[in-house]
Structure 1
Amino acid sequence: MNYLQLYEALTGLLPKRIKITLINYNTGQEIGIFKIDASNLPEVFDKPLVIDIGNKRWRVMQAAPKTAADYLFSKKLILKVQDELLPANLLPFQAPTTAADKPAILPREPVDAVAKIAFDSKSVFAGASYNAAIPSVTGEIAKGGSQSPDPYILTIEETDWRQVELAAEDCLSVVTIDLHSVQQLLSEQPDALTGYRQQHTRSRQLTQTLLIPWNSFLDQLHKPVIGPLYLRRSGWVENGFTIASEHHTYYGISTNDHIRVLCLPAMPVMDDELMNIMEHFKLLLVDWCGAYCFGGITNPFEPQNNVK
């Protein structure tokens, strides 16, 4: 059962915030007590996680209780954490799987004047403006050095690249083979807060398989806001984009007015917007690290409780 979805249905009966006691993993001393919205917490603390609490990034080393089934009803959670920047006794891999491709990185930041247009959260792009936004942001290079990302840019970790992905339905057989491998790896190491001993590299057959017309995709969204994509440790993604709708944030690669890679920053709850996009463009929604997939006619990895 998806307890976070059940929680959403019961928000009128249960408090929306969870009391979190943060404890230093190395010293055992209490760092502080915080209240966090339940929607910002994972269903299960069973994989590497870095969280932002108290204006600082912490790596979760231990959690009690570990599941939403427990902490939603007790309204309490104890997290033993370590400063993300400190050396940690971690296993070699921070994700059970990785995409075969790595995005190309621009040597400079996009032109500031163009970026400000793309990042205007009040802008509503229409018609030909769609085509103008992406090539100028990803194609032109500033003469000066790189600067810190604008607040409207989606910034993701390198390990999160293509981990929640919208893939073509006709790739289901390849997706299934890769998901079997990830599922096997997860079954061998069910508790992985400190990382994974092994990592599965997915098939190159899934690299840039989409060919979705840029304008057609944006026509499916209400008031989309467009910007570039930034990898936290690498820089600006060449031909990368971010699209924020009223319900979801999408990112990926777009070339020649077509979307070639389409992803989400985290696994969402299914809603009308996603269902319409998947049906219109014949797409699968794949959670690679969770080893399951939504969509497709004969899909052995489809969850039964992910529709809102």
Structure 2
Amino acid sequence: MPDNGLIEVVFVDAADGRPFGRTELPAAQLPESFEPDTRLGLAGALWEVLHAAPADRASAPAAGRTVLTLRRFRTVDPQEVAFSLPTICAGLPPLAPPDGAADDLVLHEDDWRQAELVERGCLAEVEAQLHEVMRVYREHSRTAGDGESAVRVFESLHLREDPAQPLTGALTRQRLFELLPASRTYAGVALPDGQGRVVDSFAARVGPVAVYGRCAGDRVLELGLTPATAAEAAAVPGLAALMREFDLLLVDWCAVRCEGDGATR
């Protein structure tokens, strides 16, 4: 620790936890604070600050040194950018502040309404959207990797805005769970990392999937399933009866699949 009025600054690589450099600076030359994502140029490379101890200039003289944990910042060639999904829902549902005490189904925002039930009156909108998703597969997808590690990636994705009203309220939450026997009921739906809870949401575990959605009172406005294969969807107890009673279609957007009486694609 320097005793000449200078602050020792230690640079630690987050990749392996080892120091890779040291310097001494007057406290006045330190930033007022090292906020996360602060970037520094060192030895011809750009680094991001993940953690600083202490985190502000005012505390540095007492400590005598500042330890910065850094991650090398890498830029990406736009030609190499690819998406893992061919489509996502364009609009997220309204969110309320997170409630850490609630037993919620945590759902990534990209998974919202990726597989869902819609009324047959939306069939024309569904077919138009599926056409656009199929076009992404045909014109904007490629295989990345080799052998068993190979995956399909997409250079663009389709943002779905329709159907904006997949359900018009004929289905109630009470009738939904009369037909779908839930093995577990959640308080609602939350997005990860404290982004928030979906307003007026519900969720439950039914067979091999979770069903979730939003209500207005007891009327179900949106009804999604955690992405499932056709076989898993067929194994959901009560799902076929629900679809018959309310004339619903099951749409799996990423699989470009629409199922229902007379609407199998």
> Above 0.5 in TM-score?
yes
Greater share of strand: 2
Following superposition, the deviation at residue 296 of structure 1 comes to 4.0
Larger gyration radius, structure 1 or structure 2 = 2
Question: Does residue 249 of structure 1 match 2:210?
Answer: yes
Unaligned runs of 5+ in 2: 1-72, 145-150
- Which residue is equivalent to 1:275? 240
Q: 2:181 aligns with which of 193, 217, 222?
A: 222
TM-score, structure 2 length as denominator?
A: 0.59
Q: Distance in 2 between matches of 1:180 and 1:243?
A: 31
Aligned partner (choices 183, 187, 191) of residue 143 of structure 2: 191
Equivalent residue letter for 1:197:
E
Q: For 1:91 and 1:221, how far apart are their aligned partners in 2?
A: 41
**Aligned residue type for 2:91:** D
Aligned AA (1:206) = A
Distance 1:222 1:209, change over 3 A: closer
Report the CA distance between 1:235 and its aligned residue. Answer: 2.4
Structure 1 residues 296 and 172: alpha-carbon distance in aligned structure 2, compared to 1, 3 A threshold:
farther
2:88 corresponds to which residue? 98
Match of residue 255, structure 2, among 275, 290, 295: 290
Paired residues for 1:11-90 under 5 Å: none
What TM-score, normalized to structure 1?
0.51
| Identity value in percent | 27
Checking the alignment, whether the CA contact within 8 Å between 1:97 and 1:202 is kept in structure 2 is yes
Secondary structure of 1:284 counterpart: strand
Give deviations 1:56-98, integer Å, cap 9, x for gaps: xxxxxxxxxxxxxxxxxxxxxxxxxxxxxx9796625332112
Letter in 2 for 1:282: D
User: Deviations along 1:107-148, whole A, 9 cap, x unmatched?
Assistant: 2417x4xx4xxxxxxxxxxxxxxxxxxxxxxxxxxxxxxxxx
Match of 1:209 among 158, 164, 167: 167
Inter-CA distance 195–235: structure 2 relative to 1 (3 Å threshold): farther
**Deviation, structure 1 residue 194:** 6.8
One-letter amino acid of the structure 2 residue matched with residue 232 of structure 1: P
Length, aligned pairs only: 176
Q: For the aligned residues, what is the CA RMSD?
A: 2.5
Matching residue's letter, 2:105:
L
